Amino acid sequence: KSVFILGFVLIMIGCTDTKQAKPVLDEPAKETVMAESNENSFVYNESEAIWGFVIDTLTGNEKLIQLKPVEKDALTAELVEEIVNKTWTRIQIKFLKTSNDTVFISIPDSEVLTQQMGTAGAESFMVSTVYSFTELKGIKYVSFDFEVGDHASPGVYDRNSWESNNY
């Protein structure tokens, strides 16, 4: 468990985009420094997660695993929304609706996801969220609605969307 946490922290720090414009005034500079330190804060709460990543000690690669079993009959989209929001405290999703085999969610404030977590962090969020929602009976797809950014894009995803990464 501690290897997973250490690996995740190292990935988050290593993949955080540190390029920032320098503020013109002194007062905004203080705000920028605070925001920059918040970027590296731990945004993932493994104790709440259904799915998460561990580092394979033999290969050094990340591996997606189910962290806790779920009772599919009792699982609802609203419950998954709550779990995701407790797992990823700085990215709050809103469950919108279910239509056929697709869950629709939005991320009203997506800046942390798209600009501050780095590509690996954003991908970890997207993958674990898709896997969590597709635990629901009959759900195969998750439609994300948020403002596109450097590290994540809205769209419809399923468990095979990241097949090249062998999750």
φ, ψ of residue 50 in degrees (nearest 5):
-85, -45
Q: What is the chain's length?
A: 167
DSSP 130-147: HHHHTTSTT--EEEEE--
Locate 111 and state its tokens. 């800046």
Q: Which residue has the tokens 């629901």?
A: 136
CA distance 119 to 109: 17
Res 34: pLDDT: 28
Strands 141-145 and 102-106: parallel
Distance CA 113, CA 44 (A): 12
pLDDT band at 149 (very low <50, low <70, confident <90, very high): very high
Residue 165 has pLDDT above 70, yes or no: no
Whole-structure pTM value: 0.73
Distance CA 138, CA 44 (A): 27
User: What is the pLDDT, as a whole number, of residue 97?
Assistant: 98
Tens of pLDDT along 26-56?
A: 333 333 232 333 433 457 888 889 999 888 8
Most confidently predicted of 13-22, 51-60, 148-157: 148-157
